[in-house]
């Protein structure tokens, strides 16, 4: 799924780019100051920055650089060594007598 908008402001990058050009805004901070993006979670910031640099308005998701190695990392535990979680939910046997 492509990333194509600031979800918090509910504006597409196409709309934000048009407003940026109309108002002469050329930085993420300026767009933020005008309430066009990056006003909430700020997850759109790297995409908006790239939009300003390239004009592109739809992106493949960008993973933070520190998370990318995890995709290739082997699992740290296997099922044989993983701690077992005890099921503490009451069962029908808890009500049996005798």
Binding site for ligand FES (CB under 6 A): 6-8, 37-44
Q: Which is nearer to ligand FES, 33 or 82 (CB)?
A: 33
Q: Which is nearer to ligand FES, 60 or 96 (CB)?
A: 60
Q: How far is the CB of 43 from ligand FES (least distance, A)?
A: 5
- Burial class of 43 by CB neighbour count within 10 A (0 to 12, 13 to 18, 19+): middle
Q: How far is the CB of 24 from ligand FES (least distance, A)?
A: 21
Q: What are the beta bridge partners of residue 3?
A: 59
Structure tokens at 31: 């767009």
Q: How far is the CB of 67 from ligand FES (least distance, A)?
A: 18
- Residues 87 and 73: their CA atoms lie apart, in Å, by 30
Residues 6+ apart with CB under 8 A from 42: none
Q: Which is nearer to ligand FES, 8 or 74 (CB)?
A: 8
């Amino acid at each position: 799924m492509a990333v194509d908008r600031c979800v918090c402001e509910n504006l597409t990058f196409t709309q934000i780019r048009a407003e940026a050009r109309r108002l002469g805004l050329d930085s993420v901070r300026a767009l933020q100051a005008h309430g066009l993006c990056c006003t909430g979670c700020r997850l759109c910031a790297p995409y908006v920055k790239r939009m300003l640099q390239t004009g592109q308005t739809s992106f493949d998701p960008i993973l933070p650089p520190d998370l990318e190695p995890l995709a290739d990392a082997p699992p740290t535990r296997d099922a044989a060594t993983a701690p077992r979680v005890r099921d503490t939910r009451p069962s029908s046997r808890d009500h049996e007598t005798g």
